């Protein structure tokens, strides 16, 4: 079974631009979560989608948004990029959203904002 894929793997953008990241979960997984990973803040939860509905949201500004499609693929958008948005963005999928669900992570998208 194919794992979680994320595209693109690397991205360089300029301050003020916007960016869209894509995540394809493992086949059959309905829950997709997004995380931002930085050396200073560690892993921070952005949001979780389950069956096209945002179920949970972390403490990030409205510039960060996402969506999930009917095939469970998910996109994350960041508008008006700031230097501090430079990070590794990780997507994780799970079969459902129960307390025992294991998350399967993609390799991440490395975003650099200049």
Partner 1 sequence: GDSVTQMEGPVTLSEEAFLTINCTYTATGYPSLFWYVQYPGEGLQLLLKATKADDKGSNKGFEATYRKETTSFHLEKGSVQVSDSAVYFCALTDSSGGYQKVTFGTGTKLQVIP
For partner 1, the closer CB: 79 or 88: 88
For partner 1, the closer CB: 50 or 64: 50
For partner 1, the closer CB: 18 or 38: 38
Please tell me whether residue 84 adopts helix, strand or coil conformation: helix
Q: How many CA atoms lie within 13 A of 57 on its CB side?
A: 12
Q: Which residue has the tokens 């992570």?
A: 105
Residue ranges in contact with partner 1 by CB under 8 A:
4, 31, 33, 35, 42-43, 45, 48, 50, 55-56, 90, 92, 94, 96-108
Q: How far is the CB of 90 from partner 1 (least distance, A)?
A: 6
Q: Which DSSP category does 71 fall into? A: T
How far apart CA 59 and CA 66 sit, in angstroms, is 14
For partner 1, the closer CB: 49 or 64: 49
Report CA-CA distances (Å) from 27 to 7, 24, 90, 101, 111: 17, 8, 18, 15, 26
Q: How far is the CB of 23 from partner 1 (least distance, A)?
A: 11
Q: How far is the CB of 103 from partner 1 (least distance, A)?
A: 7
Q: How far is the CB of 16 from partner 1 (least distance, A)?
A: 29
């Amino acid at each position: 079974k194919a794992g979680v894929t994320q595209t693109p793997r690397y991205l360089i953008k300029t301050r003020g631009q916007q960016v869209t990241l894509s995540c394809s979960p493992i086949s059959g997984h309905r829950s997709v979560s997004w995380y931002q990973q930085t050396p200073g803040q560690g892993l921070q939860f952005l949001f979780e989608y389950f069956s096209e509905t945002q179920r949970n949201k972390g403490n990030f500004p409205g510039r960060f948004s996402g969506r999930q499609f009917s095939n469970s693929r998910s996109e994350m958008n960041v508008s008006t990029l700031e230097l501090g948005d430079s990070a590794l963005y990780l997507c994780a999928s799970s079969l459902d959203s129960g307390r025992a669900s294991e998350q399967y992570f993609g390799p991440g998208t490395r975003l650099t904002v200049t």
